Structure 1
Amino acid sequence: MQDSFISHLVELRNRLVKALLAVFVIFLCLVWWAKDLYALLAAPLMAVLPQGGQMIATDVVGVFLVPVKVAGWVSLLIAMPYILYQAWSFIAPGLYAHEKRLAVPLLVASCLLFVAGMAFAYFVFFPGMFRVMASFTPEGVAWMTDIDKYLGFVMGMFLAFGATFEVPVVVVLLVIMGVVSVEKLGEIRRYVIVGAFVVAAVITPPDVASQLMLAIPMCLLYEAGILVARVVVRKRAV
């Protein structure tokens, strides 16, 4: 029993080392383009700044550390499929065949939806929200932001939208686990909609447009989750 536990710990260590090594190798390849990666990340804001507008760095080493952080996050995102593969290789031997058949589609869907959420934030939410902020900037006020604070803001929004786009996966899991039925999900729809707008009001900047851009996708994804859950239930009943 003890030997089996130790062997599992050793395997877990090896999987973690492989995952971290993958991130490190990708980081070494990307760090030389760290400035370009940050410029790409800052593009939605730079596009709406007035002519001559710029971002600032209030920390002495911020001009070095912030682009390096961006390169690190991008490396982690690129390596995520391999990291998930290592996690799956460690967990899969302990699962039943029907659990494996269910886990793989959910895992793939979860990854794709998270990336879709980040893409929605970058291509839709950021440009729209920054345009709203620019339109409310008082005359004579120079709208500039620290590069480190900007990174913290966009990473928070990436996580928020990525998590939001996981709603269908959560809904399907709740139905499969028997926590709630598809019919009940339909009955509590109105409460979910209210909750979506409350979450959006807490997470996003305090303007209506930003809140709508998070709340509406959350509601639509909830409906998509119900549809998928209904299909899954029918297939399991056959």
Structure 2
Amino acid sequence: MLKSARKQEKDPEGRMPLAEHLRELRNRLAKGLLAIVAVTVVAAFFYNDIINLFTKPVLDSVGCPSTFTELAKQPKDTTCAQITINGLLTPFTLALKVSLMAGVVLASPIWLYQLWAFLAPGLHNSEKKYALAFVGAGFPLFLLGGYFAYSVLPTTAKVLIEFTPFGVDNLLPLDDLLDLVTRMVIVFGLSFELPLLLVLLNFGGVITGKRMLGWWRAMIMGITLFAAIATPSTDPLTMLALAVPIWVLYFAATGISLINDRRRAARDATGPADDEASELDLTPEAVGAIEPVAMAPALPEQADGSRAQRLNGYDDVT
């Protein structure tokens, strides 16, 4: 009974000994890994569907015809690609890789929540609010960037396949194709996280919205250059389809930062809140002249001519 009562008692501020922290971290990690393993096992049953989802855009744009009728309709000078798998163990390792990747992605809400549950007790209420807002905005932005990568993949594959010399068959290994798709999704997803990173730095007091607004020319040039490299197509519409959303997100982040700067200036003008400590003034001050200390009155002389010594406020005479 006493042990169970002690377990129920918790510090209202979330403080606990180091051993308790390590035990909680172990439990959180175990729950996150268990969720990844469970989703990976389920994703293994849909391995072929996941592969088709990744390879369909490339096959639709540059895949070689599978029937004689489609081959007859294709121009003679057209280069196509054929997806292949090399090795006896490659299909098995590829299935594990794809299933694990799907497990990590699909189980992300669970292990992200476990990470949040471990860090949340050490945060203040305002920090919890901001952290939840950033996580809630970051995940959709990453998905949006991945969707753009998936949408421009056919055009990218068509442009790259044109570099194949005429009369040479292009055999595209399936593992290389999956690595290319994964890299594009990660790069595009992280590029859509740039505005969120700028807002995070602004809330942390690192940069101001006014400075971000002064960067708009360089940011537009850099985003346009990135879109041109990430989408190697001669069609400017494809490049603008990636650059324009990032432009909009950048200026939205600048607007949010300017509003936050104005709110912060108004808060500093009114002073600290009730639950905040005021800043200490550590400016040194000049020390004035030391006033002389009043001397105690002289004690009467004793018969032997010596002064009476004070002890605890009394002289030796009394």
Q: TM range, normalised to the smaller chain?
A: 0.7 to 0.9
**1:114-171 deviations in whole A, cap 9, x for unaligned?**
111112211x221221233345555433233101111111111111011011122111
1:53-132 → structure 2 map (5 Å cutoff): 54-122=82-150, 124-132=151-159
Match of 2:201 in 1: 174
**Higher RCO, 1 vs 2 (CA within 8 Å, ≥6 residues apart):** 1
Answer with 161-170 or 209-218: which moved more: 209-218
Whether contact under 8 Å (1:113, 1:165) holds in the other structure is yes
**1:32-83 deviations in whole A, cap 9, x for unaligned?**
1212211111111111123135301123322222233112111111111111
Asked if 1:158 corresponds to 2:194, the answer is: no
- TM-score of the superposed pair, with normalisation by structure 2: 0.66
Q: State the distance in 1 between where 2:83 and 2:103 align.
A: 24
Whether contact under 8 Å (1:44, 1:126) holds in the other structure is yes
Percent identity of paired positions between Structure 1 and Structure 2: 33
Q: State the distance in 1 between where 2:232 and 2:262 align.
A: 42
Q: State the distance in 2 between where 1:216 and 1:135 align.
A: 27
Whether contact under 8 Å (2:212, 2:254) holds in the other structure is yes
Q: State the distance in 2 between where 1:58 and 1:200 align.
A: 33
**2:185 alignment partner AA:** F
Q: State the distance in 1 between where 2:170 and 2:26 align.
A: 48
Q: CA RMSD in A?
A: 2.5
Q: State the distance in 2 between where 1:133 and 1:212 align.
A: 19
1:1-238 → structure 2 map (5 Å cutoff): 4-48=17-61, 49-52=63-66, 54-122=82-150, 124-134=151-161, 137-200=164-227, 204=230, 207=233, 214-234=242-262, 237=266
Structure 1 residue 198: Cα displacement: 4.9
Structure 1 residue 206: Cα displacement: 5.2
**2:169 alignment partner AA:** A
Gaps of 5+ in 2: 1-15, 67-80, 268-318
Structure 1 residue 29: Cα displacement: 1.1
Whether contact under 8 Å (1:38, 1:67) holds in the other structure is no
Answer with 139-148 or 109-118: which moved more: 139-148
**2:127 alignment partner AA:** E
Instruction: Provide the secondary structure at the position in 2 that maps to 1:55.
Output: strand
**1:149 alignment partner AA:** D
Whether contact under 8 Å (1:116, 1:162) holds in the other structure is yes
Whether contact under 8 Å (1:172, 1:228) holds in the other structure is yes
Gaps of 5+ in 1: none
Structure 1 residue 184: Cα displacement: 0.8
Which one has a larger percent helix, Structure 1 or Structure 2? 1
Q: State the distance in 2 between where 1:206 and 1:156 align.
A: 15
Structure 1 residue 211: Cα displacement: 6.2
From the CA coordinates, give the structure whose radius of gyration is larger. Answer: 2
Answer with 48-57 or 20-29: which moved more: 48-57
Match of 2:307 in 1: none
